[in-house]
Amino acid sequence: MEDTTRQAEDESGEAAGVTSRRRFLGYASGLLSGVIAAALGLPLARFFVGDAFAKKTPDWVRLGLVREVPLGRPQLFRLSHRDNDGWRQLMRRQAVYVVTDDGVDFAVFSSACTHLGCPVHWDDAEQLFLCPCHNGGFSQDGAVAKGPAPRPLDRLEHKVEADTLYVRLA
């Protein structure tokens, strides 16, 4: 009878099909440790990754009323907008030029030179956007007129709603 009892016990000394208290507590503590690790690890991973995979949608920023833009002459608009960069909120300032010939169709240009990013200004005497850094120049439609700029001024997406001009900033 002793031989059959010994055969029924496995190598750890437990009866076949019966879990000891020690083994059960080992399983339970392992499971509890896994749950705690997941509960702490997932928020920490989210913190470190942040919004790296979230697609950022550009915001529409109000420039001003349509009637503030003179016909045939670029108008400078300075704007401030809040930019969320991960967990930081930054207040950004930017300047854009708006041009219209008829008061209906508008062109909105960035004020940054496409050569090295220096701010351009409109010169009434030369009828050009002039860059003070390397003597670059752009015509009223944003095309390169002189200097080392590799491409025209950047055009910004815009819309008009209820006689108010908006620009989309990326």
Range scoring the smallest mean pLDDT among 28-32, 79-83, 85-89, 166-170: 85-89
Please state the rounded mean pLDDT for residues 4-18: 55
Residue pair 137/129 in contact by the 8 Å Cβ criterion: yes
The CATH topology of domain 59-169 is Rieske Iron-sulfur Protein (2.102.10)
Query: What is 85-146 written as a DSSP string?
Result: ETTEEEEEEEEEEEEESSSSSEEEEESB-TTT-PBPEEETTTTEEEETTTTEEE-TTS-EEE
Which tens digit of pLDDT belongs to each residue from 113-146?
Answer: 998 889 999 999 999 999 988 888 999 998 999 9
Q: What is the pLDDT of residue 5?
A: 46
Which tens digit of pLDDT belongs to each residue from 44-91?
Answer: 887 777 766 666 666 788 888 888 888 889 999 998 888 777 667 888
Q: How many residues does the chain have?
A: 170
Q: Average pLDDT of the chain?
A: 83
Q: What is the pLDDT of residue 45?
A: 82
pTM: 0.65
Listed by start position, the domains of the chain span: 2-49, 59-169
